[in-house]
Structure 1
Amino acid sequence: MKTIVTIFIIFIVSHVSIGQEQNYDFGKVSKQQVEEKICHKDSSVNAAVLYKNEKIWFAYQQEEGFVQIREVHERIKIYNKLGYDWATKRVRLYNRSIENSEVLTSLKGYTFNVVDGKLVKDKLKKEGVFQELVNEYWKYESFTMPNVKEGSVIEYTYKIRSPYIQIDDIQFQYTIPILKYDLKVSTPQYFNYNKLFNPKSKYVPELEYSTSNGMLNLNTKDDTNRKWNKAPAFTNYHYSKVDYINNVIMASEVNIPALKEEPMLDNINNYRAKLILELKSIEYPGEPIEYFASTWEDVTKNIYDLDKFGGQLNKSGYFKEDIANLVEEGASEFKKINLIHNYVKSKVKWNGNYGVAAEKGVRKAYKEGVGNVADINLILVAMLQEMGIEANPVLVSTKNNGIPLFPTRQGFNYVICVVENDEGRVLMDATSANGAINVLPSRALHWQGRVIRENGSSNWVQLKSKVMSEETTSVKVQIQSDLSISGEVRQILTNYMAMNYRDRYIDAKDDELLKDFERDKGDVIIENIEFRDLSNTDKPFQISYDYQMQGGIEVIGETLLLNPLLFFAESENIFKQEERTYPITLDFPIRSKYMITILLPEDYELESMPENGGSEFNNGEAKFVYAINRMGNYLQILVNFDLNTTLVLPEDYEYFKNFFRSYVEKHNEKIVLKKII
């Protein structure tokens, strides 16, 4: 009876507490929310959004036309120190001229804590607000909430005032759960939008569609030259009222799950639940309908016609003298391509900025030796065209830009170069110092790109490489009398494997190299590291070093146990979760080969060794082979691992996990040596 009463009391108290938490007005944070220790919907998270309210609407200003207002209100619970990052908010704003920039306004916020049993709040002050200029187009307005502790609840609200009709994507999902989210989007009948949810998202919210009435106050005197989205050209006004309809989208979602990272996933943001509103057309009364790009052909033509894009390809005088003697007469097309690609890589350095439009212009970027993505790769295209090579720009959406679902200029944020000939396509990106022909930086290996040509034609090209990137490792192993291990390692890396190592070590100092090579290898000392062709991207990258290792042998009485793969063994299966929500994605297929030679100690005999074996996944999409053989006093081990696919679907996850588990288990089998008596 006492137990039943206790349960009843807990039930009543919990429901009273929940009821007290339903006040979502700004500033009405409850003591119970601050005292809560874990998220009742997901106890593993470090923070949670208790409430989010987002409103988007358009206000008509006589001097400006329609202005977009986006109001955001968020209340976030910080459970522990790992959740402190959520106390800083970065808001991206388009930043051009005063008239054409977005502005953050009406910012206010508080941090709530319980001190000596009482609820107290600290106000967000000016010193907690910062501006960060990214480039000539974008800036961040950031703020950090004050006095954040474990258990704090932070709350803030702000508005974004934008002169643009295009609406940024509406995010329904964060990497922490959202317990309640209210959304209202209200757009005038004059603006027509395509509406689409991210098709890759597993979470799909429910939307409600309705209409509401709106009214405009318009100046009607001498109005023949008036544009709806521009100010009239006169100053004496007579006003009239115009009724119109707002198209309204609403959502009220609860318990939106966190978007959680999974091993070997290209970009978690590609799977975020979001509503995309793509401006399709504008239809003002009495004016022609203004259509926006409705096909990818329209998009690519509009981009090519830009002076800062196609206009840059018509300029060649600035480099003609420099490349006149660069390529010898009679050189093959491939050699010309390679020479020009390497020349541009060394001549113009990337400033880290993306964009499909030239930032400085090709002539200035070439002269100064620095430019954005478009500056550099449009120079590359122009130079190749000057050499009579069929080169063209390729528009790309990088991993952090997502997958463009509608034909839109905003869908692309990057440019690379393609050469098309009878032998196929050659892709290049001269912003990557360690890239090579058909070896693009990871940021560009996303989805597909759109080739655009001067004649107006365009088509899609696959960006992910089908060429195998290989890592071949030779290891010599000698067991010393004190049971330490010594030997040498030689590695050869090709294509993307080589580029990744070059990116990592091109500027590394000697002490950094030693620390990095010794990391995660146990009690190992690395000596005599040598690199070959570190800067020559036309050749494989080679690494060699000597090593000494303590503690690599397990001693049980007169018996020794040794893992022949030493510190190269896969220690654990990274695929631990029971189910997979998202696909396993890789940038390129890989082949890993280990060739290990062990000199057996004279005073020990081989008692047992692993059996030869292997496994295969999905008809050869992945496979490994383990072969071991004794030749006199030597053991030779060969371990091959091929991953021929760059995509494993969630429905195949269980099979792949089991395949990889067998690979890891084989990696950790040991040879047994017994002392000769």
Structure 2
Amino acid sequence: MKIKLLLLIFIGTHYVHANDFKFGKVSKEELSEKQHPTESDASAAILYKKERVFYNYDYEQGWAVIKEAHYRIKIYNKEGLDWATLQVPLYISRSDEEKISSIKGFTFNMADGKIVSEKLKKDGVFIEKINKYRNKASITMPEVKEGSVLDIEFRVSSPLYWHMDDFKFQYAIPVKKVDLRLDIPEYFVFKRHSKGFYPIKLNESRKSRSITVSYRSEDDQSGRSIKTSRKNGALEFYENVYEVNANDLPSLKEEMYTNNIDNYRAAIKFELASTQFPNRPYKNYSLSWEGVAKSIYEFDNFGSELKKTSYFEEDVDNVIVAQTEDMEKANLIFELVKSKMTWDKYNGVTCSSDGIKKAYKEGSGNVAEINLMLTAMFRYAGLKANPVLVSTRSNGIPLFPTTDGFNYVVSGVEVMNDVILFDATEKNTYPDVLPNRALNWMGRLVRKDGSSSQIDLIPKEPSKELHYMNAKINIDGSVEGRTRTQYSNQLALSFRDVLDNTEEETYLEELENNYGEMEISSFDIKNKDEFSKPVIETCSFVKENQCEFLGEKIYFRPMLFLAQTDNPFKMDKREYPIDFTFPRQKKYMINLSIPEGYQIESLPENAIVQLPEQAGIFKFKIVSQENQIRVSVLTEFKTALFPANYYDILKEYYKNLVLKQSEKVVLSKI
């Protein structure tokens, strides 16, 4: 008898630990609690989150990862009602997809001093297709109101045995207790990476186990036919067990100028490092960043696509004819691709199975198809061009080498000792001005020979917003005048995108509302499609109630409605960086005429606030001459990223800025 061991069956066992959070059993104390004991402003809280993860094996389907989850959520007020719907991502591979099952839920409330429950019904579960890579299950609980407690259980089966989502421990609301356990057969070796600033202890142990083995027996019938039959055996092996038991985790609040809050959320990432199956060779998945870049370049739907040129040669030849300057060629090819191609909104570093040629013919493609096509055209024209791998801001900052760390690609043209970056997915981009989604710290340029180098994605040149205003203060307290605002670089890109996606009438209504019922006329835009120039917006305006009257005196802010009145930083403490996305400068030049019969009694004092290491500055200067007031204001950040220990400094910076811009000019009657 010849026994061939094919694969192992791991019978997943649902481990049950004694705890106070038995599904379907809530207490009056939980229901009667009016606010969170340590965060009184919390709109809701996760009282309990349990996840059990284990491996299963099916003879026909192969390995699968099973996750069983239990959430208990307390709703404190109306703002917390958003937590009545729990959303579960479900990923799709080329041949299979994750599936959710065993969904159960109860909403508990108090009525006449008694606990009443409402069971989750089928119409409360909805699965929708987000894109070709992901589905989403939405579990909406019934009869949720202020004071409710929700109990939800579900099970996700994933054929993507090599992939696990981050195990998250922090949310926008506080978490009372987390109970996580993973049981991983010795055949899978995972690296563990911690994220966030709140310390999480991961306990590791090893557990022996005997499992049932399925194998095929081939019996030689002494010259007759070979008979094959399925038999079972037993195999002793061990599992690596990983556990987290954490209590009283604070909420992770997000405020302005945050990159991707998931970068800073307390979490643990499991990354498959290697596999070693019985009677199979050892396979190592661990890579350096250079290895990741080279691995991606060698994909058939990446590097091979860069070699194809026949489909575009005639078009490129026509646009660069008689051109000798490299940057002129690059700009013409860039405009060709932008005008020809429409981005289908899919990210990714590889082309679809149909390839670039079909995308070019149809005029639509994903980000890889568009920007690899652009790179191939640059190379055809004799430019030193290479793809640059990027992780978008929504994808997070890749903290360790893995092919999942990159989900976007742009094109880089090496000129002298610099690399000019191009992204043709949007009509309003231009050389070295990428969409904000791609400005995520560092990318990696990959060359034909497999070498690679790190590329700083953050622009060195600041984006500028310049405001010029000539206005007259009227005797009734209204103001009328004309403004001219110009935007450059990233700010120009964003402004052009807004103009493209908004009807002019709607845009003007929104602009008037943003400045508080202002009346705008004579509106004009210049350089909308001349990307090498700043885009300029001019308009005439009238705005009432800009002054206060006290006796025979008039009070008004010298920056009028352009003054910043709110500090974006409100937290007592912030443990994650401040990310302005790109260096920026905002400048105001304002000329004001005061009403006849009045004189200037007092002006705010001039002021300068300088950040350490000349990282930023705020300047306020005001002068007067006869019946004219001239105001010059500058705010500037020379770097895009500040570490968390700058938070108090930046908070104080904005505090001084708001106070200074709120100070009043005083006019007195002559």
Q: Contact between 1:398 and 1:445, CA under 8 Å: does it hold in 2?
A: yes
Q: Which residue of 1 aligns with 2:13?
A: none
Please identify, of 360-369 and 451-460, the stretch whose mean Cα deviation from structure 2 is larger: 360-369
- Please give the secondary structure, in 2, of the residue aligned with 1:84: helix
Q: Contact between 1:514 and 1:527, CA under 8 Å: does it hold in 2?
A: no
Q: Is residue 164 from structure 1 mapped to residue 160 from structure 2 by the alignment? A: yes
Q: Contact between 2:260 and 2:394, CA under 8 Å: does it hold in 1?
A: yes
- Please give the secondary structure, in 1, of the residue aligned with 2:502: coil
Matches within 5 A, 1:484-563: 484-563=478-557
Q: Which residue of 1 aligns with 2:469?
A: 475
Q: Which residue of 1 aligns with 2:5?
A: none
Specify the code of the residue in structure 2 equivalent to 1:258: S
Q: Which residue of 2 aligns with 1:104?
A: 100
Identity of aligned residues (%): 39
Q: Is residue 249 from structure 1 mapped to residue 242 from structure 2 by the alignment? A: yes
Matches within 5 A, 1:3-152: 23-96=20-93, 100-152=96-148
Cα deviation code 1:142-167 (max 9, x no counterpart)? 22112212221111111111223222
Q: Is residue 217 from structure 1 mapped to residue 212 from structure 2 by the alignment? A: yes
Q: Which residue of 1 aligns with 2:448?
A: 454
- Please give the secondary structure, in 1, of the residue aligned with 2:320: coil
Shift of 1:292: 0.9
Shift of 1:23: 2.7
Q: Contact between 2:389 and 2:406, CA under 8 Å: does it hold in 1?
A: yes
Please identify, of 175-184 and 126-135, the stretch whose mean Cα deviation from structure 2 is larger: 126-135
Please identify, of 233-242 and 441-450, the stretch whose mean Cα deviation from structure 2 is larger: 233-242
Q: Contact between 1:465 and 1:587, CA under 8 Å: does it hold in 2?
A: no
Matches within 5 A, 1:601-616: 601-616=595-610
Q: Which residue of 2 aligns with 1:9?
A: none
Shift of 1:137: 2.4
Shift of 1:632: 4.1
Cα deviation code 1:233-292 (max 9, x no counterpart)? 995123321111000011111111111113321121110111111111111233221111
Question: How far apart are the structure 1 equivalents of 2:124 and 2:407?
Answer: 31
Cα deviation code 1:421-447 (max 9, x no counterpart)? 214111111112222211111111112
Q: Contact between 2:181 and 2:242, CA under 8 Å: does it hold in 1?
A: yes
Q: Is residue 639 from structure 1 mapped to residue 647 from structure 2 by the alignment? A: no
Aligned with 2:149 (options 146, 153, 165): 153
Q: Which residue of 2 aligns with 1:317?
A: 310
Aligned with 2:177 (options 177, 180, 188): 180
Are the structure 2 counterparts of residues 474 and 362 from structure 1 closer, same or farther at C-alpha, using a change threshold of 3 Å? same
Q: Contact between 2:255 and 2:568, CA under 8 Å: does it hold in 1?
A: no
Q: Which residue of 1 aligns with 2:358?
A: 364
Question: How far apart are the structure 1 equivalents of 2:149 and 2:330?
Answer: 58
Question: How far apart are the structure 1 equivalents of 2:516 and 2:393?
Answer: 35
- Please give the secondary structure, in 1, of the residue aligned with 2:153: strand
**Structure 1 gap segments, 5+ residues each:** 1-20, 225-232
- Please give the secondary structure, in 2, of the residue aligned with 1:284: coil
- Please give the secondary structure, in 1, of the residue aligned with 2:333: helix
Q: Is residue 194 from structure 1 mapped to residue 187 from structure 2 by the alignment? A: no
Q: Contact between 1:523 and 1:551, CA under 8 Å: does it hold in 2?
A: no
Question: How far apart are the structure 2 equivalents of 1:601 and 1:354?
Answer: 57
Question: How far apart are the structure 1 equivalents of 2:178 and 2:570?
Answer: 32
Are the structure 2 counterparts of residues 252 and 418 from structure 1 closer, same or farther at C-alpha, using a change threshold of 3 Å? same
Matches within 5 A, 1:298-377: 298-359=291-352, 360-377=354-371
Aligned with 1:270 (options 263, 271, 295): 263
Q: Which residue of 2 aligns with 1:11?
A: none
Q: Is residue 204 from structure 1 mapped to residue 199 from structure 2 by the alignment? A: yes
- Please give the secondary structure, in 2, of the residue aligned with 1:666: helix
Question: How far apart are the structure 2 equivalents of 1:370 and 1:193?
Answer: 38
Question: How far apart are the structure 1 equivalents of 2:218 and 2:73?
Answer: 49
Shift of 1:188: 0.6
Question: How far apart are the structure 2 equivalents of 1:660 and 1:544?
Answer: 28
Are the structure 2 counterparts of residues 560 and 523 from structure 1 closer, same or farther at C-alpha, using a change threshold of 3 Å? farther
Runs of 4+ in 1 over 6 A off after TM superposition: none
Q: Contact between 2:217 and 2:229, CA under 8 Å: does it hold in 1?
A: no
Shift of 1:647: 2.1
> Aligned residue pairs: how many?
645
Specify the code of the residue in structure 1 equivalent to 2:120: L
Q: Which residue of 1 aligns with 2:3?
A: none
Are the structure 2 counterparts of residues 234 and 274 from structure 1 closer, same or farther at C-alpha, using a change threshold of 3 Å? farther
Shift of 1:520: 3.5
- Please give the secondary structure, in 2, of the residue aligned with 1:260: coil
Q: What TM-score do the two structures reach when normalised by structure 1?
A: 0.91
Q: Which residue of 2 aligns with 1:15?
A: none
Q: Which residue of 2 aligns with 1:389?
A: 383
Q: Which residue of 2 aligns with 1:288?
A: 281
Question: How far apart are the structure 1 equivalents of 2:41 and 2:584?
Answer: 34
Q: Which residue of 2 aligns with 1:408?
A: 402
Question: How far apart are the structure 1 equivalents of 2:583 and 2:373?
Answer: 30
Q: What TM-score do the two structures reach when normalised by structure 2?
A: 0.92
**Structure 2 gap segments, 5+ residues each:** 1-17, 220-225
Q: Contact between 1:41 and 1:255, CA under 8 Å: does it hold in 2?
A: no
Question: How far apart are the structure 2 equivalents of 1:113 and 1:623?
Answer: 54
- Please give the secondary structure, in 2, of the residue aligned with 1:317: coil
RMSD of aligned alpha carbons = 2.1
- Please give the secondary structure, in 2, of the residue aligned with 1:237: strand
- Please give the secondary structure, in 2, of the residue aligned with 1:443: helix
Please identify, of 450-459 and 600-609, the stretch whose mean Cα deviation from structure 2 is larger: 600-609
